[in-house]
Structure 1
Amino acid sequence: MLELSENICVRKEFVGTEKTPIIIVDNMFKYIDKICESVRVNAKFNVQNGNIYPGLQAGMFRDFGETFLSYAKIAIAGEYDGVSKLQCKPYAAFFSMVSSPSVALSFKQRIPHYDHNSPSSFAVMLYLAEGDFGGTAFFKHNKTQFETVDERRKACYATELESLEVNSASEFKGYHSLESPHFTAIGSVPYRQNRLLIYPGNLLHSGLIKEERDVFVSPQQGRLTANLFLRYE
């Protein structure tokens, strides 16, 4: 069931003025429908403490995780300079489903975010479910012009977000969209079943979520993704 497709298609794109590379892989798994159904039936979804994901998550199955990680490491080593000499350290792996209504979102869940400050960290996401769901977009913070947030920018960006929350929180009504006076979209990747997306963890990003289209509490209907987070040291 975990065989890779014979029709894998890999492309690399660069987003923003910083030309941050992202990898898009289409047709990753040969039996994606069977994998998706296994997740729907067997994954134990619940709220995970300690992250800002706006929904339910489940621990990744070991056999799926091993295959997923193996391919991700090959793709990253082939497209990102320097990481092949570093040790890969996975630090989180989940199946995820957006389920939080807009009114329940915190301020941080209403704006683009980054996952890790290291330029050698990566988010790996597979769109699992078939359906007309929202994809993923990447952003520039207009005031600072930051598209990525590394250790040098971390303190400055945190200060700007505190100010934004105090002065402009009411402007963020729900899930983030492509239109915002405070962030400008620099690229996006549409949702497509069996599409894998890899991007540096310090790149500002957000799911393009619409409540009526993407928010469900049932795995049979939900926007299911597999999410893996890696750090190279």
Structure 2
Amino acid sequence: MNFAHNIAYFNPMFSDNSFYPGIRDNMPQPYLRVLHAFFQNEILPKIDNKNYRESILHKSLLSLVSCKPANLIADQKVPHIDSCDERDYAFVHYLSPEELGGTSIYKYIPKNIIEFKQEHKPLLADIVNEVKKAPDEHQGYLSGSTSLFEQVFKVDAKFNRLVIYQGNLLHSANIFSEQSCLADAKKGRLSIASFASVR
């Protein structure tokens, strides 16, 4: 927490070439080493029906939601995927309390899809366009089911909880309140987002 509160230099929204609705900084290498060792030794052997032998941790980003709902662009109002490859994994390490929101997995109702593969990649632009056609339902952050998206699984935030899931699952942060959008590492929705691949 010392790094987050006193050392991190948060870069502006979009500077990491993602649609994350806030500010970010790279985590120090010691954090990446510990996380990678945990994933390699404790999680990788437990992935069902797979014979994966190695993993690569690509990056870990200290992440603070800062964008107010009224300022979101359409791409930030939809659940997203991090990859179309089931061998890619996403991690969320929550550093704020439950009331600031966890993470949910969604189904894209028109196509009945939760897990995206390469053949589904063209649908991503369609999803954003469909949201633009339903502005009344998608005025800000997604925080539950709509006519386009069904919330199929929800993980509550808890301080120091680590959640790991396949990056090709349609997902979104649960952001309910104005406090979740405070650009203050001591009061806002702070987490660490990490990304890994297995082979």
Alignment partner of 1:145 is 2:112: yes
**Which runs of structure 2 are paired with 1:1-233 in the superposition (5 Å)?**
36-47=1-12, 48-81=15-48, 82=50, 84-85=52-53, 87-130=54-97, 132-155=99-122, 157-158=123-124, 160-161=126-127, 163-169=129-135, 171-233=137-199
Relative to structure 1, the CA distance from residue 70 to residue 102 in structure 2 (aligned partners, 3 Å threshold; closer, same or farther) is same
Once residues 97 and 43 of structure 2 are traced to their aligned partners in structure 1, the CA distance between those partners, rounded to angstroms, is: 26
- Partners of 1:77 and 1:83 within 8 A in 2: no
Once residues 51 and 18 of structure 2 are traced to their aligned partners in structure 1, the CA distance between those partners, rounded to angstroms, is: 26
1:206 corresponds to which letter in structure 2? Answer: S
- Partners of 1:107 and 1:165 within 8 A in 2: yes
The sequence identity of aligned pairs, in percent, is 24
Q: CA deviation at 1:75?
A: 3.4
Where structure 1 has 5 or more consecutive residues not aligned to the other structure, the ranges are 1-35
Relative to structure 1, the CA distance from residue 231 to residue 108 in structure 2 (aligned partners, 3 Å threshold; closer, same or farther) is same
Once residues 19 and 56 of structure 2 are traced to their aligned partners in structure 1, the CA distance between those partners, rounded to angstroms, is: 21
Where structure 2 has 5 or more consecutive residues not aligned to the other structure, the ranges are none
TM-score (norm 1): 0.78
Q: CA deviation at 1:192?
A: 0.3
Once residues 185 and 128 of structure 2 are traced to their aligned partners in structure 1, the CA distance between those partners, rounded to angstroms, is: 35
Q: Equivalent residue of 1:158, what SS? A: helix
Q: CA deviation at 1:133?
A: 1.3
- Partners of 1:114 and 1:204 within 8 A in 2: yes
TM-score (norm 2): 0.90
Once residues 119 and 140 of structure 2 are traced to their aligned partners in structure 1, the CA distance between those partners, rounded to angstroms, is: 30
